[in-house]
Structure 1
C-alpha cells in the first residue's frame, strides 16, 4: 500500500493488481528510490524537476482509461530500468498507478 499523501498532496491509488504487485516489488528492491518517487508523485506529478526521468508518455501509451475516466499517462524512471507509469486525475488529486516494476517496459523500447 502506498503511504497516505502529505498535507495538500496527491493520493496514490492502484489502477489494478499488476500495479500493486509492481509497487511491492519496488518496495522490496529499491525502498529509498521508491520513497523519493512517492514524494515526487504525491506532490508534483505533472511538474517534473527532471524531464529525462519524469514525462508524459506519447502515442498510444499517452492516454489510458482508468476508473471510468481517460487520463494522460506519465512515466517516472525510478532506476536505470525500473519505471512507474501513472495517470494524474487533477479533479480528484489522485495519481492512478498503472504500472510499476524494476524492469524496463518492452512497449517503450
Structure 2
C-alpha cells in the first residue's frame, strides 16, 4: 500500500496536501475497484470538514467522498470527466479530486504512520 508521508489522511480515506489538494488514498481506490465516474463539487462551494462533497463510482459500488477540511472549493480535476480511471492509476497525482482554500483542517486527520497502522 502506497502512503506518501507528506500528506494527511482522514479515517474515511481522503488525503489532504498542504496546498489544499484532496484525493482518495491508494487503499481506498484499491477497495473501490475500477473507477468509472466521478461526481465533483462546484467551484466556490463552502464546505465543512466531514461533509460529503463528491462521489466516486466504480464497477463495484458508489462511495461518498468527505472533505478532510473546512474551506472553499477553488478547483476541481476536470480531467476526471473523461478519464476517471486516473483515480486508480495515480491516486496521489493526476487522480486528485478537488482543491480547497482551507480555513480549518478536520480534527481527525492522521499522518502516514497512523493511517498505515489503522489500515495495514
Instruction: Indicate whether the TM-score tops 0.5.
Output: no
Q: TM-score, normalised by structure 1?
A: 0.30
Relative to total residues, which structure has the larger helix share, 1 or 2?
A: 1
Higher strand share: 2
> With structure 2 as the length reference, what TM-score do the two structures score?
0.28
